[in-house]
Structure 1
Amino acid sequence: MDAIKRLLITVVLGVLVLTGNAQEKYPELHWISSADKNANQPNTWIAFRKDIVLTEAPREAPVIISADTKYWLWINGKLAIFEGGLKRGPNPRDSYYDKVDIAAYLKRGKNQIALLLWHFGKDGFSHKDSGRSGLLFYMSAGKYELFSDHTWRCCVHPAYGTASKPDPNFRLSESNIRFDARKDLTGWQVAPLYSMPGFIPAAEIGVWGDAPWNKLMERPIPQWKDFGIKEAKFERRYGKTMDTIVARLPYNMQMTPVIKIADALGGKLLSINTDHSGAGGTDNIRAEYITKKGLQEYESFGWMNGEAIMVNVPHSVKVLSVKYRETGYNATPEGKFECSDSFYNLYWKKAQRTLYINMRDNFFDCPDRERAQWWGDAVLLMGESFYTYSTSTHALMTKAIHQLAGWERQDSVLFSPIPGNYDTELADQMLASIGDYGFWNYYLNTGDRKTIEDVYPAVKKYLALWKTDSEGLTMTRQGGWLWGDWGDNKDIRLIQAGWHYMALDGAAKMADLLGFREDANVYRTIMAKLKLAYNKCWDGDAYRSPLYKEETDDRVQALAVISGIADSSKYKKIARLFKTQFHASPYMEKYVMEALFTMGEGEYALERTKRRFASMVNNPNYSTLFEGWGIGEEGFGGGTTNHAWSGGAQIVIAQKLCGISPLEAGFKTFLIEPSPASFESASISVPTIRGLIKSSFKNNTDGFVMNINVPNGTTAIVRLPASSSVEVKIDDHLPTAAQLAIEPQWQREGYSAIKLSAGTYTIIRNKKM
């Protein structure tokens, strides 16, 4: 009877592996852990082993693994998965599982499965602790099925512990790891199963669907990209009591350090840090290692980030090598940009690097202090990703969007960062997330209607919380933190009103998409009144809310322009104001730059951006961009040196200067409307779900020449300024009637428009732009 029962469960789970739709309990698939009384303590590491015999090497061996919290998997002594698992929290209750294929590591005959589990055991700004360590494992390899149950053997790894104080700051769910090599379970991944001291049968602590892990959702993002272990050059700086090993890294990266040393006696304490272990105004991730006697090599599995590895060692310890394993989100920098201005080439390089080290389990603000998915940041990081990295980043966006809706409070409030132990609403950031620049921009770039359908109810409920006064102007919403932006001179009411307008606009478009016409009408009615009320705040020179008494806020003017609240009659005065008011942080400066391009002030947009970002871009000591305009006390919020919100100008360069943006969802139809400003030349490649868009131009006294590549299955609308003396040719010919037959919605007054199908083209305009 048990055999029949197990067979039936196996069949069902076989379907599960293929479909990932299982949400019911399966009695033979157990959550397991160690029976040790300390198994659920923070920063606990548990080694699991299971030996199996296969009659043949399988072609496929799909595996489901759910781990609380992270895991490393070896098959027959070979590392198959480096840091599997995701930080917990698709919503406040549920958890994730990985689905991978390990057939390449299996063989006919005996196979040794070894898994090292790291239980975080505490909350943070990007992880919701379940309170229990646990492993769930199912494999289907041909006719063989493997379940996690009491037949697995495990041991709380005695070498792992927690480093001495100070601990990482409260935002980080990871602990500082101490590894005592004298207590290591040497070779435990391949040692004879029953010869290893300390390994006992695993305790069965639950089944699929049980608390505290509850519903299990398939991991929506790929496993990490592993760049391999590489050697770093190092120098030894001698001190009175300890020496410091300094190994420079090629750039700021997510990495795990690897040290090879020799110690004649053993028992020496080494401190493993990076130059970011104490950064952003607080304590971050570091590690410790206690030597054993003799030659030894150790990789600390808790990832850190920085520009340099620094190891504090006693005089008697000989350091033979320092290496590092860079890992990160599985994406490639397919978006390329180069121009005639060396400053902006360097800016793009640093911005692209900063973006990459701020994506892993989730998008985050910084990889050292917080690793937190603040949604104001996420809006910019998503926008940057569309122009810089492969479309694999779209999965991280989808995850982030579903998480934001999944963590909706009972009172319909949206908040971030999530997942984790934070529950405070930053009202303006929430409006940014659900509006034109957040959810709707995601849809325009991906064409993913299903995600919009999933989260629209949360959008509708959140917008219903926002109120307007008798004039129609947005009433200030306190939320949990009345933020607006870093810095001073914040006209909060109009900041919120600008974001409110664009949130309503995004929601109206979502409602149109989903067929909720009545909802769309409601949103647009509120928008119309809000626009009138906002414009009543124009005092003849600038927008200022009625009770605002401080210096005129450049952020407010930018929001008025990019939202369409401000009409062109106000552009001249707003542009003049941008030459005297400099209050926006790097976060909001992106929107100032965009507003300037929108008003036809591209040259000054580049000038202002260069002036404001010069110190961080030209600083040779950092490969990334900063949180504020300076470092530490000269910055904001602690002043980290790796904040990806400072990369927002990449979006403006791509969309406004190079002029590439989607007109129809998924780039089915897209716009190329370059505005060279002061650039004599520029080239860009944009990765889209339909292929790589390429565009380059040269702009000089001889005229304007542009080369473009339109991917298969797409249509490009090219718009260039028109006048009676301007002639435009395509591949040395005048545009055909078909190329000039442009739908009304794609036309723009004062511009000539050309429609191009898939192919490569050279467009020549006889006048400089």
Structure 2
Amino acid sequence: MVIFEGGLKRGPDPRNTYYDTVDLSAYLTKGNNTIAVLAWYFGKQGFSHVDSGKFGFLFECITPGITLATDASWKVIRNEAYQTCPPPLPNFRLPESSIRFDAAKDPGLWYTHNFSAQAWKNATELGRPPMAPWNRLVQRPIPQWKNSGLVSYLKAPAFPVQYDKDTVITCTLPSNLQVTPYLKIETREEGKLIEIITENLMGGGEPNVYAQYVAGKGIQEYESYGWMNGHTVTYKIPAGVKVLDLKYRETGYDTEFAGSFTSSDDFLNRIWQKARRTLYLTMRDNYMDCPDRERAQWWGDEVNEGGEAFYALDTKSHLLFKKGMYELINWQKPDSTLFSPIPAGNWNKELPVQMLTSIGYYGFWNYYLNTGDLKTISDLYPGVKKYLQIWKLKENGTVEVRKGGWSWGDWGDNIDMDLLTNGFYYLALQGAANMADALSLKEEAFEYRQMMAKMKATFNKEFWDGSAYRYPGYKGKTDDRSQAVAIVSGIADPDQYPALRETLKKEEHASPYMEKYVLEALFKMGYADDAVERMKKRFADMVNDLNYATLFEVWRAGNVESWLRGTTNHAWSGGALTLLSQYMCGVEPAEPGYASFRVFPNPGSVKNASAGMQSVKGMIKSRFTNSEHLFTLEVTVPKATTAVIGIPVEKVSAVRLNHRPVWKDGLAVRSRKALKYQGVEKGRILFRVAEGTYSFEAVKYKK
């Protein structure tokens, strides 16, 4: 096997098609070689695929020594063993079908060198690209899948086992995984039907994929190539079948769990770990909302997921975010509107708030801030600018709410939609201004910031009621989401923080998706303990449920009916991962591409915590301990960058670096080659350091 499930779903834009490049040299031997391909044509649309309307296959290998290319000399046959399972059919969002395989129709070892394909028909030559319906070919921008090979289940019966009656075997996976299930059986008669499902067959309340195998006679092996996900895989074995072995293959996006987080608080450790597992489970062709019901690149979800990946995964994960960014702009409609999910063959509705989130500060700008990839920003910024220009401004500087195709701000109720939309428009302007600065478009950056200044003035003059923001005419309860966006965007000023803190203590309307912004607002205002307390209260059901390795789409507490319709693996719920690494352990980029970064820990009452992340400059580590009389901070700074270390100044009388004094009672004690004192600012003692590992000790005043 050279490639397992190559070929990305269509497409890079509404017309064109991805292609793969692979190095075959290690597989070729002297003499005759056989290249054999099993191709799958979906034949239907979905939320992650636009159907070309026609099956086609292209292969080209052109080197100085050899030329191989698909033409009419290639042999082809339809493998009649592959069929479609009967209902329940996968819901309309999924382009994949449930695969049924009838072993009696299997053409045999068609992929081996000794197999004769002379009886097969010659391929029909359709032409050379670019040609309809596949049009221009675009090289795959992400790696091929990580592939575990076939491995044994964590828990399964001891094999072989002869079953004399119909039996259900449920095998346990080590976590919630993307898998292709495998079986090896023996039976004396053909036609025995084996069904294979996971517990997510109805994940999200609607049918997803499953598999069927119709046995032949004798000993046989089969792997169902349509991936499914779950904590368990269940095989329904009919009487008279001897099971020789059951295994699975895990495949998924090729990235490593390079980031880490641990602390003295077990709940925080578990929510970070569950968020990471949920994140990885929603990565494949694209960032997706869930791996069962939809597999769709909703961009509100991708913003959260991309932010988590910077802290949890290695830098190969950046390519998936980048792919999604190009797709979002390349699918831009002639009227300049944007929509997601894309790629999509049966969806085209704009969700205006999600689109603002995508192109704004937490979307495109956050990608550039973490990667320093200016070319991508340069390529995509014109599309961002066009989208912002379709929004109409009122005289007071705020925007008119656009309904788009679906006026959606969040799940749940008490959504102050006008306020929320304006908050995310402000964040979109912030991202656009920063991108314009990076591209040396100073006049455009200035214009964006003028718009921001006018919006902020209106927010604080017309929407602030002394305890919270509220759009005129809104009648619901105070919207915690909108307060959070005002805080994280910088619309709210520090003198408003105490009142906003009390508001966020009592208002709980955000879904797990928007809860990320609420928790971030509390961290940003300096109320780390409030953030942790709210995180524990709201996410308790998800984190404490030992039956799931992942986080849910909706809250379960008091809302069981809604929870049953949601998925149990939705990465938009993983914002806590980002916040614990970025705010509690304090690591975040200060300049694009980590040309410099900050380590400003916010320990609250947590006794110790540590985080590691693989930045584009290398591994960064932050570790603190926090006791009554001493705060210690250990930081690792990689090569080719610098860091500003921010020690919380409250109650601190002296600071030592590697056991030597560097600060006391407001003054630097002495300068050192690797360290530059930068004063006290916003409650932190600041030091700039170059590459290396540093151990700070902050001595606190004794009572």
TM-score bracket relative to the smaller structure: over 0.9
Superposition deviation, residue 221 in structure 1? 0.3
Superposed counterparts of 1:520-535, under 5 Å: 520-535=445-460
Helix, strand or coil at the partner of 1:614? helix
| 1:596 matched to 2:522 | yes
Helix, strand or coil at the partner of 2:323? helix
CA contact (8 A) 2:203 2:292 kept: yes
2:373 aligns with 448
1:372 aligns with 296
CA–CA distance in structure 2, aligned partners of residues 98 and 622 of structure 1:
35
Which protein has the bigger strand share?
Answer: 1
1:139 aligns with 61
CA–CA distance in structure 1, aligned partners of residues 110 and 621 of structure 2:
52
Superimposed CA distance per residue, residues 145-197 of structure 1 (whole angstroms, 9 cap, x where no aligned partner)? 11111111010111001111121000001011110001111111115454554
Superimposed CA distance per residue, residues 123-160 of structure 1 (whole angstroms, 9 cap, x where no aligned partner)? 11111110111111111455111111111101011100
CA contact (8 A) 1:554 1:578 kept: yes
1:110 aligns with 32
Instruction: Give the AA of the match of 2:614.
Output: P
Helix, strand or coil at the partner of 1:204? coil
CA–CA distance in structure 2, aligned partners of residues 566 and 657 of structure 1:
21
CA contact (8 A) 1:335 1:687 kept: yes
CA contact (8 A) 1:700 1:768 kept: no
1:195 to 1:221, Cα distance in 2 relative to 1, 3 A? closer
| 1:574 matched to 2:500 | yes
Superposition deviation, residue 239 in structure 1? 12
Superimposed CA distance per residue, residues 609-635 of structure 1 (whole angstroms, 9 cap, x where no aligned partner)? 011101011111111110011299544
Superposition deviation, residue 549 in structure 1? 0.4
Superimposed CA distance per residue, residues 233-268 of structure 1 (whole angstroms, 9 cap, x where no aligned partner)? 335999998421211111100010001112211112
Superposition deviation, residue 548 in structure 1? 0.5
1:492 paired residue among 386, 409, 417: 417
Using CA pairs below 8 Å that are at least 6 residues apart, which structure has the higher relative contact order?
2
CA–CA distance in structure 2, aligned partners of residues 618 and 164 of structure 1:
37
CA–CA distance in structure 1, aligned partners of residues 217 and 701 of structure 2:
72
2:354 aligns with 429
| Deviation larger for 393-402 or 726-735 | 726-735
Helix, strand or coil at the partner of 2:34? strand
1:90 aligns with 12
1:439 aligns with 364
| Deviation larger for 517-526 or 146-155 | 517-526
1:128 paired residue among 50, 58, 62: 50
Helix, strand or coil at the partner of 1:555? helix
CA–CA distance in structure 2, aligned partners of residues 122 and 501 of structure 1:
39
Instruction: Give the AA of the match of 2:401.
Output: T
Helix, strand or coil at the partner of 2:293? coil
2:542 paired residue among 612, 616, 626: 616
Which sections of structure 1, spanning at least 5 residues, go unmatched?
A: 1-78
CA contact (8 A) 1:630 1:639 kept: no
CA contact (8 A) 2:678 2:687 kept: no
| 1:171 matched to 2:96 | no
| Deviation larger for 720-729 or 446-455 | 720-729
CA–CA distance in structure 2, aligned partners of residues 381 and 636 of structure 1:
21
**CA RMSD between the two structures:** 2.0
CA–CA distance in structure 2, aligned partners of residues 579 and 94 of structure 1:
49
CA contact (8 A) 1:238 1:244 kept: no
2:682 aligns with 749
2:284 paired residue among 360, 364, 368: 360
Superimposed CA distance per residue, residues 594-614 of structure 1 (whole angstroms, 9 cap, x where no aligned partner)? 100111110010011011101
CA–CA distance in structure 2, aligned partners of residues 505 and 488 of structure 1:
27
1:674 aligns with 601
Normalising to structure 2: TM-score of the pair?
0.95
Superposed counterparts of 1:269-288, under 5 Å: 269-288=193-212
CA–CA distance in structure 2, aligned partners of residues 176 and 593 of structure 1:
40
1:693 aligns with 620
CA–CA distance in structure 1, aligned partners of residues 701 and 306 of structure 2:
33
2:147 aligns with 226
CA–CA distance in structure 2, aligned partners of residues 173 and 418 of structure 1:
13
1:5 aligns with none
1:763 aligns with 696
Superposition deviation, residue 483 in structure 1? 0.9
1:508 aligns with 433
1:579 to 1:750, Cα distance in 2 relative to 1, 3 A? closer
Instruction: Give the AA of the match of 1:223.
Output: Q
Superposed counterparts of 1:337-486, under 5 Å: 337-421=261-345, 422-486=347-411
1:80 aligns with 2
Superimposed CA distance per residue, residues 528-559 of structure 1 (whole angstroms, 9 cap, x where no aligned partner)? 11111212211112111101101111101101
Superposed counterparts of 1:184-195, under 5 Å: 184-190=106-112, 192=114, 194=116
CA–CA distance in structure 2, aligned partners of residues 645 and 355 of structure 1:
8
Helix, strand or coil at the partner of 1:296? strand
Instruction: Give the AA of the match of 1:316.
Output: G
Superimposed CA distance per residue, residues 428-464 of structure 1 (whole angstroms, 9 cap, x where no aligned partner)? 1101111110000000000000000111011001001
CA–CA distance in structure 1, aligned partners of residues 227 and 652 of structure 2:
60
CA–CA distance in structure 1, aligned partners of residues 457 and 98 of structure 2:
54
Superimposed CA distance per residue, residues 349-399 of structure 1 (whole angstroms, 9 cap, x where no aligned partner)? 111110001001000000000000000000000000000000000111110
Instruction: Give the AA of the match of 1:259.
Output: L
CA–CA distance in structure 1, aligned partners of residues 656 and 231 of structure 2:
49
CA–CA distance in structure 1, aligned partners of residues 683 and 269 of structure 2:
31
Helix, strand or coil at the partner of 1:292? coil
Helix, strand or coil at the partner of 1:753? strand
CA–CA distance in structure 2, aligned partners of residues 624 and 584 of structure 1:
19
CA–CA distance in structure 2, aligned partners of residues 752 and 488 of structure 1:
42
Superposition deviation, residue 739 in structure 1? 5.9
CA contact (8 A) 2:211 2:224 kept: yes
CA contact (8 A) 1:364 1:378 kept: yes
CA–CA distance in structure 2, aligned partners of residues 121 and 297 of structure 1:
27
Instruction: Give the AA of the match of 1:212.
Output: P
Instruction: Give the AA of the match of 1:604.
Output: D
| Deviation larger for 533-542 or 487-496 | 533-542
Helix, strand or coil at the partner of 1:523? helix
Normalising to structure 1: TM-score of the pair?
0.87
CA contact (8 A) 1:628 1:634 kept: no
Helix, strand or coil at the partner of 1:100? coil
CA–CA distance in structure 2, aligned partners of residues 112 and 195 of structure 1:
11
- Number of matched pairs: 688
2:481 aligns with 555
CA–CA distance in structure 2, aligned partners of residues 308 and 696 of structure 1:
36
Which sections of structure 2, spanning at least 5 residues, go unmatched?
A: 663-669
Superposition deviation, residue 723 in structure 1? 5.8
Helix, strand or coil at the partner of 1:119? coil
CA contact (8 A) 2:163 2:240 kept: no
1:263 paired residue among 181, 187, 211: 187
CA–CA distance in structure 2, aligned partners of residues 140 and 478 of structure 1:
51
CA contact (8 A) 1:627 1:635 kept: no
Helix, strand or coil at the partner of 2:236? strand
| 1:734 matched to 2:629 | no
2:667 aligns with none
Superimposed CA distance per residue, residues 686-729 of structure 1 (whole angstroms, 9 cap, x where no aligned partner)? 11111000111111023011111110111010012336852111
CA–CA distance in structure 1, aligned partners of residues 117 and 639 of structure 2:
61
CA–CA distance in structure 1, aligned partners of residues 650 and 282 of structure 2:
45
Superimposed CA distance per residue, residues 641-672 of structure 1 (whole angstroms, 9 cap, x where no aligned partner)? 00011111111111111110001111110000
| Deviation larger for 323-332 or 747-756 | 747-756
Superposed counterparts of 1:232-251, under 5 Å: 232=153, 233-234=155-156, 242-251=166-175
